[in-house]
Amino acid sequence: MTILDKRASLAGPGSSGTVTPFGAQVMSWAPDGEAPVLWMSPRAVLDGSVPVRGGIPVCLPWFGTGPGGAMRPSHGFARTTRWRMLDAEDAPESPGLASRSFRLDHAPVGEDVSAGLFPHRFHALLRVSVTDELVLSLTVVNDDDHAVRIEEALHTYFAVGDVKDVTIDGLEGSDYLDAVRDDGRRRTQVGELALVGPTDRIYRSAAALVLHDPRRRRAITIDKDSSASTIVWNPWAEGAAELSDLGPHDWQDFVCVEVGNVRDDAVSLSPGEEHTLILILHVDPMA
């Protein structure tokens, strides 16, 4: 049995998709009559032993290796934890539902190994809805008696005709950190973003984006709310060679454009306070 055997179907007026309680991860989504918008690696491991390469992983409560650079697993434990489905729990395969909701509770106690990683109580709610758009709403609530600082990201893998032809509008003038250069310098985006090699950038930007894919002749609008960070990632050939769940040419078929709040833009929550991050995807034909 794989985690795909536990997937839940989404069907709305204009699009459909699937989501698994493992990591509350959206596995697929496409408007009616369109090619898949989300990319899934042909080599993705689907038995729940490691994160799934593709779809929309939820990075929480830290991003990458965390503020100090030593947190494990990478991108937090939320994406490798089974979330509880709050609706249709008795019939996860029921067709026709346009939304699904999932909950993750984190309350480390005693010898819980996660206490050393993130010794703070919180819960998270993820709601996934489909119409002619895909909408994800991630709410994190501080259940502890002290302030908690979290990083979060919705790590979307977009299926593209060829990443070398893709351009991204909306980041113009935004400052970013370039993890490929890894020199700690902030740079400023000039004009549209075109990927020409390994890319791993964290932009300080709350703006909506448009991903232009000329091979598939479509433009994907990436809108967001309560997100101060945008992350763009593709490992290129050299980086893909180091990842066992990517084939030698798979890097050409996707680009990750992530919305969230990471590094200096991490969210600080007082006791009882909550924060909601929203992602909205819409697809239009290119002129």
Q: Using an 8 Å Cβ cutoff, are 30 and 16 in contact?
A: yes
**pLDDT (mean) for 191-204:** 98
Question: How many residues comprise the chain?
Answer: 287
Q: Which of 165, 177, 195, 179 is nearest to 256 (CA)?
A: 195
How large is the average pLDDT for residues 100-114?
79
How far is the C-alpha of 102 from the C-alpha of 77, rounded, in Å?
A: 15
Whole-angstrom distance, CA of residue 75 vs CA of residue 57: 9
Question: Residue 163, CB half-sphere, CA atoms under 13 Å: how many?
Answer: 24
Which band of pLDDT confidence, cut at 50, 70 and 90, is reported for residue 196?
Answer: very high
3-class DSSP string for the chain: CCHHHHCEEEECCCEEEEEECECCEEEEEEECCCCCCECECCCCCCCCCCCCCECECEECCCCCCCCCCCCCCCCCCHHHCECEECCCCCCCCCCCCCEEEEEEEECCCCCCCHHHHCCCCEEEEEEEEECCCEEEEEEEEECCCCCEEECEEECCEEECCCHHHCEEECCCCCEEEECCCCCCCEEECCCCEECCCCEEEEEECCCCEEEEECCCCEEEEEEEECCCEEEEEECHHHHHCCCCCCCCCHHHHEEEEEEEECHHHCEEECCCCEEEEEEEEEEEECC
Which residues have a Cβ under 8 Å from the Cβ of 250 and sit 6 or more positions away? 41, 42, 43, 240
User: In the prediction, which pLDDT does 68 show?
Assistant: 81
CATH topology for the 3-161+230-281 domain: Beta-galactosidase; Chain A, domain 5 (2.70.98)
The CA distances from residue 144 to 102, 123, 269, in Å, are 21, 10, 10
Is 80 exceeded by the pLDDT of residue 130? yes
- Between 111-115, 138-142, 199-203, the lowest mean confidence (pLDDT) is in 111-115
Cβ partners under 8 Å of residue 33, min gap 6: none
Q: Is 114 a residue whose pLDDT tops 90?
A: no
Residue 93's pLDDT band (cuts 50, 70, 90): low
In order of 37, 112, 159, 202, the CA distances from 140 in angstroms are: 26, 21, 28, 21
Question: In this predicted model, what pLDDT tens digit does every residue of 34-85 receive, in sequence order?
Answer: 999 999 999 999 999 999 999 999 999 999 988 888 888 999 999 999 999 9
pLDDT of the residue at 90: 44
Is residue 135 predicted with pLDDT exceeding 60? yes
Q: What is the mean pLDDT of the chain?
A: 93
